[in-house]
Amino acid sequence: MIQLAPSILSADFSKLGEDVKALEMYGADIVHIDVMDGMFVPNISFGIPVIKSIRNLTKLTFDVHLMIEEPSRYIEDFVKAGADIITVHFEADKHLDRTINYIKSFGVKAAVALNPATPVENIKHLIPQLDMVLIMSVNPGFGGQKFIGYALDKIREVKALAEKYNNNLLIEVDGGVDASNIKELKSAGANVLVAGSAVFKGGEIKENIEIIKREF
């Protein structure tokens, strides 16, 4: 089953609560929340208070994608804010095995994200422990970038590892996802699709989600 995870980084921040409610109303499965610290990536987005403020507006799963240095410092705070899945970057954590176990100790799901140039092989031994792997198909930190084609090969690699070590693993892809490449992503093995601009463009959330889901 394919799940749609709109990234609220592309939402209208002046009416964020309304946009989040609309996602549930119009058939999204997960709310993807990009947290940026201005260090791991150049931009700064939003943090714990914003997540708390929208948590009671929807029953959808909150996938909190931490594009921050030393993410283990804030795991408990994000759990308390309402995260259901916490995604940390391989490149941002010196003790990734420990962080994954720390996340899972709170009863939430743990995921690892890989930047475009980071080989899948680096997380091979973590696959049995993980709930999800996020393949970045753009360089993190900015919305609206063009899809990087070799991400498809990385998705296939993760799929092969999942079939060998963890049949329940979710494979998420983030960056440049729209109706034009969903069939390719699905064929490669992705089953959680993060879409920002493609969902929120023009403020037409209902119509945009319908267009995307036709490709599922």
Catalytic one among 19, 34, 131, 178? 34
Burial class (CB in 10 A: 0-12, 13-18, 19+), 138: buried
Q: What are phi and psi of 166, to 5 degrees?
A: -160, 90
Would you say 157 and 165 are in contact if contact means Cβ atoms under 8 Å apart? Answer: no
The two structure tokens encoding residue 133: 């792997």
Give the DSSP H or E segment for 31.
strand 30-36
User: Binding site for substrate: what residues are annotated?
Assistant: 7, 65, 141-144, 174-176, 196-197
- 153 a catalytic residue: no
Round to whole Å and give the CA distance between 92 and 141.
13
User: Binding site for a divalent metal cation: what residues are annotated?
Assistant: 32, 34, 65, 174
Round to whole Å and give the CA distance between 141 and 36.
7
**DSSP string of 101-114, one letter each residue:** HHHHTTTSEEEEEE
- 77 a catalytic residue: no
Round to whole Å and give the CA distance between 137 and 174.
6
| Residue bearing tokens 């693993």 | 169
User: Binding site: what residues are annotated?
Assistant: 7, 32, 34, 65, 141-144, 174-176, 196-197
Catalytic one among 37, 131, 174, 178? 174
Tally Cβ neighbours within 10 Å of residue 124.
14
Round to whole Å and give the CA distance between 56 and 37.
24
Catalytic residues: 34, 174
